[in-house]
Amino acid sequence: MDDNVTVINHPLIAHKLTLMRRKNSSTQKFRSLLREVAHLLTYEITRDLELTTETIETPLQEMDAPTLAGKKLCFVSILRAGNGLLEGMVELMPSARVGHIGMFRDPESLQAVEYYCKVPQDIEERRVIVVDPMLATGNSAIAAITHLKKQGAKNMKFLCLLAAPEGVKALREAHPDVPVFTAAIDERLDEHGYIRPGLGDAGDRMYGTK
């Protein structure tokens, strides 16, 4: 894997991901774990945000204290499953702007079909983090990022929970300027485009659909 693919290694993330993979984990459990993992992934993916200082008054004295500076953020969720990650991220960074792209995979062709898009108008001035728990063939992420580039987005990262090697390769080839962050890269894609060993269909597990 190249330098622009980061596997975020952390014992808490690894443990929670294992709980999510277990087929007997309930919808409620799956959803709350995804939210917790989103907090931990956000902590890592925002490591390079620039700081400036601001003069503040503590109860005891004045000080120059660190505060976030630089480009404003925008999180873009690939619906539906992206919203599970998004919720946890927004809890940590409540002032971030949020965009949504609706995509579903055609089960036969495995091509991504777009059904919705709404992003902030000033997206070209923002650092954009595109989120979706699953990167399988890569078709959904590639289509979403292509669309966001057409809307003017220039500075993007892609964050997922679980990736297939095939999806990482395809996304890196299609959008080499977009670094990829994931909690794990599994063994392979199966003949139906599912990540193996995987965790199943993230959207269905989050929302209890089938």
* Residues 50, 91: Cα–Cα separation, whole Å: 20
Instruction: Give 120 or 203: the residue with its C-beta nearer to Mg ion.
Output: 203
Supply the DSSP symbol for 133. S
Tell me the residue length of the chain. Answer: 210
Alpha helices by DSSP H, listed for the chain, are 11-21, 27-45, 82-92, 139-150, 165-174, 202-207
* Residues 6, 110: Cα–Cα separation, whole Å: 25
Token look-up 């193996």 returns: 196
Instruction: Give 153 or 186: the residue with its C-beta nearer to ligand URA.
Output: 186
103 binding partner (options ligand PRP, ligand URA, Mg ion, none; Cβ < 5 to 8 Å by kind): ligand PRP
Q: What's the min distance (Å) between Cβ of 181 and ligand PRP?
A: 15
112 binding partner (options Mg ion, ligand URA, ligand PRP, none; Cβ < 5 to 8 Å by kind): ligand PRP
Instruction: Please report whether residue 133 would count as binding Mg ion according to CB under 5 A.
Output: no
Instruction: Please report whether residue 84 would count as binding Mg ion according to CB under 5 A.
Output: no
139 binding partner (options ligand URA, Mg ion, ligand PRP, none; Cβ < 5 to 8 Å by kind): ligand PRP
Token output for 144: 């979403």
Is the bond leading into 120 cis (omega within 30 degrees of zero)?
no
By beta-carbon distance, which residue lies closest to ligand PRP?
A: 203
Query: Which residues in this chain contact Mg ion in the complex, by CB under 5 A?
Result: 201, 203
Binding-site residue ranges for uracil: 195, 200-202
